[in-house]
Structure 1
Amino acid sequence: MKKTILALLALVLTAGMTGLVGSPAEAATAQRSSTKVGYTRVVVAPAVYDLIGTAGITPAPVQGAKAGAFKGTLAAKFPITGYRLRGLRIKHSGGLNLSAGSATITVSRFNIDLARLRVSGRVNGTVGNVGRVDLFKVRASDRRDLGAVKLTLTKTAADALNATFGVNAFAENATFGYATPKPLSRF
């Protein structure tokens, strides 16, 4: 399964990024930063979107991200600001703020690390400034209509959400959403 996910995303990225740098060999060693070179769309799983709404948690894009309705749930777009095909890493700007009353958590500056099949991000909010942590595990999608890959919660992310909002609703390995990198697409 790991090879399938890596092959799918590497194909998407290589095809998109080679137009920026020329040959596939140049693309393999390329590194870009501080330049928008597309975006990654993340769709919140419908069950999670319902859970968030029921718990009174309001999501809002921050730091240049965009969000809106998508197939009965929420989709957010995060600008791709850098990538490294060697090591298979995609950097993003923007993020999401989740709030309910005085409780808040902001996750931002996501990095997709395909070599480890993890998505990390900077976390701060009511629980304090946690710093960069692994938020999601990248898995094969069971809803291709929502995204190329499935994002499941890490224990760290599930515990932070539960602690921040005083719930027991989030669990390690539970599906949070779906992601599709779209290199060279207009943000």
Structure 2
Amino acid sequence: MVPVIPIVTTSRLTLTPLSPHDIDKVFDIYRDPATWEHLPTGRHRRREESVALIAAGQRSWTESGAGPWAIRIGRTGSLGNLLPGMFIGTGGVTLTASGLWNLGYRLAPTSWGRGLATEMATAAIMSATTANSTAPVTARALSNNPASCAVAERVGLKLLWEGPTKDTVAAGVRRRIYADREPTAAQLEWLVARA
């Protein structure tokens, strides 16, 4: 039986669990090269990749009580070119195999620079804490993405580790791992192995 998951509203956003109804909008954002400026190899080239992303998100909600949301502009008003109800991306937390929450998001470039990632991330950390307060909350960002690093820091995560990444990136780009508290040695090893 699928649990009933409430809609979360923040001052400017409406957050609902990702569903198959969101597939076209998710794929539009995930295939846009601009959303993958810092990690071009992550871009979705096939719709099936976005279908799998949504399915994994639904499993997260069922298995752990938290997961990724569809992020929409709230019904209370527009933000310039962002109109009420407009889908602007995905974001939230998922519980990893190592017992850590992973905070992540992907927003349409038209929504960048307005503090919306921070607003969603704050709600996501609250969601993670409600679902399982014993699991540390972590976030991963690349050093060539200072905006994502700043979001992690603004929501209270501290830089835990910085080093080489397994992703295909430009020379000199490093992976940064943030956390709200010190993970176990095994959890840190798990994180670094997947940097």
TM-score, length-normalised on structure 2?
Answer: 0.27
Structure scoring higher RCO (CA < 8 A, sep ≥ 6) equals 1
TM-score, length-normalised on structure 1?
Answer: 0.28
Structure with the largest fraction of strand: 1
